[in-house]
A and B are shown apart, each in its own frame.
Chain A
Amino acid sequence: MTLTLRGVGYRYAGATRPSLLDVDLDLPDGRVVGVTGASESGKTTLCLVASGLAPRTIGGQIRGRISLNGADLDAWPMHQLSQRIGIGFQNPATQMSQVAGTVFEEVAFGPMNLALPRDEVIERTWAALEALGIDGLAERDPQRLSGGQQQLVAIAGLLALRPDHLVLDEPTAQLDPAGTRLVGDAIARLAASGVSILVVEQKADLLAEVASEVVVLAGGRVALRGPSDEVLADPRLEELGVAAPSAVRIRRAAASAGVGGDRLEAALRG
């Protein structure tokens, strides 16, 4: 299944100007597409639009076409769409249902809402927990986890719905380095297992690690797009408000100092 955006624009209810303009994007099966850009560049709006939450949940006006394998997203009610596209947000705490006493029940919340058979709910929940390596947290209170662990629980809750695509809006934005590492590893693991992910991130190092393609937004439009190594090394990236990945900055610093060569390249490639 391919999630496709063609000429998509979006204006929030009550806003005078659109937050997204003429965006084209493809998210085929098994690909990880990174989205980055300065603040107010339209990244979160793109996530809301791509997941079908905008405009149906928050209102506003949309232009262009968003489809899954050629069928308009409008064709599905939200509870059905949630089984095709899962969306995760920045703040792990707001993604907790607040009614689950254990991580297991938290992750099972989505499948339970879909009224799936009990055995299937249980099987999906264990599978999602294990896919993210957090089955050991199953009996913990989700409110008492670290931010990074809560974000993993939130992602597991989406995976339990078995969506074709995941849309993650700055999943590490509120996390410390340890939490960022947990979530980064989980995204890399999901990507390696073939899950399609549209991930919005300010942390270019993370994008360099997990994304095969990167889109840079500026003023609601696509300013740069291409293979991640090319886009993240593009000199225009910093003009667009995004810090280049560490490896790119080290390479540049080394080049300007006249240092370099095969050994440096080998070290940077890990």
Chain B
Amino acid sequence: MAGDHALTEAAPAGRDIPSSIGRPGPSAFHRLNPLTKATLATVTAVAAVVIGGLIGPVVLVGVAVIAPAMAAGVLTRLVRLALLLALPIALSAFLVNLFFFPGGQRVLFSIGPIVATAEGLGFALEILARIMAISGAITLFYLTTRPADLVVDLERRGVSPRVAFVANASVQTVPAMVERASQITAAQRARGLDTEGSLWRRVRGVVPIVGPVILGSIAEVEERTMALEARGFTRPGRRTLLWAPPDNRRQSTARWALLLGLVALVVARVAGFAP
């Protein structure tokens, strides 16, 4: 084959993958197996919902989010990103519960006809703690794990390459769409679109940007599909993996312990043994 001939001549012998692929992370927490970190994030998020009261979710944030984030050296970024992620929903949930908690008796203050109650404040703080635990757990995972590493690990454990690809591509699509949106915004501005000024002007300016972003992404799907087909993606069966994140028995035990702990917590909550 012509292609074979040309390429075989150039083929170097005995070379391995570049050293940056699968390079260990900077901290011990980064270096945990991605599935271990994903399990911790999932268990933390679910436990935050299951645990009642204020103390439980606050302790959870401290133990399962802040302590590992400090160990990984990402606490500042985590706080900033987790707040950014959770602020809109946290703020609205806090205000709704503070002012509209049903059956609140002890009035703290009032703004016109709206009354803030102590019972509402207590419940609003509980909700806030839960939201911060969930957003903190998710943010910690993404700050310390490359999505591709989790996908490789899942594939190694037998997850279908297609499922792994869809999960990974979905995550990777977000920054691509953000970049496309910024390019289209720049192009539309160059043609006189006003995206600054009053709220109404900003809203009106969004329409000519959102349309091309979404339609452009849809139009690319066919070419992307064909490009994947042309690279053997539709072949049934497992793929070759170039590397896999390290794992060990201790981490496996820890994952099972976390999951069993979560199950025990749910059972205790349902049976009325937990607050």
Contacts and interface: CB of A to CB of B under 8 A. Distances in A.
Is chain B a partner of chain A in the same complex? yes
A79 B234 contact: yes
Given A110-B231, A113-B233, A159-B7, A99 B172 contact: yes
B1 A98 contact: no
A195 B229 contact: no
B176 interface: yes
Contacts of A30: 2
Interface of A: 1, 29-30, 48, 51, 53, 57-58, 77-79, 82-83, 86-87, 89, 91, 93-95, 97-102, 104-105, 108-118, 121-124, 126-128, 130-131, 138-139, 143, 154, 157-159, 161-166, 190, 193-196
A125 to B, nearest CB: 8
Interface of B: 1-13, 15-21, 146, 148, 151, 161, 165, 168-169, 172-173, 175-176, 220, 222-235, 237-242
Contacts of A193: 5-6, 9
A94 B220 contact: yes
Contacts of A58: 222, 226
Given A83-B232, A131-B6, A113 B17 contact: no
A157 B233 CA distance: 12
Contact of A95 (B6, B148, B169, B227): B227
B128 to A, nearest CB: 36
A195 B240 contact: no
Contact of B6 (A143, A158, A194): A194
Given A97-B231, A98-B173, A143-B176, A122 B3 contact: no
A111 B238 CA distance: 12
Contact of B226 (A57, A83, A109): A57
A115 B240 contact: yes
Contact of B242 (A78, A97, A118, A131): A118
A122 B173 contact: no
Given A94-B224, A112-B242, A115-B239, A130 B10 contact: yes
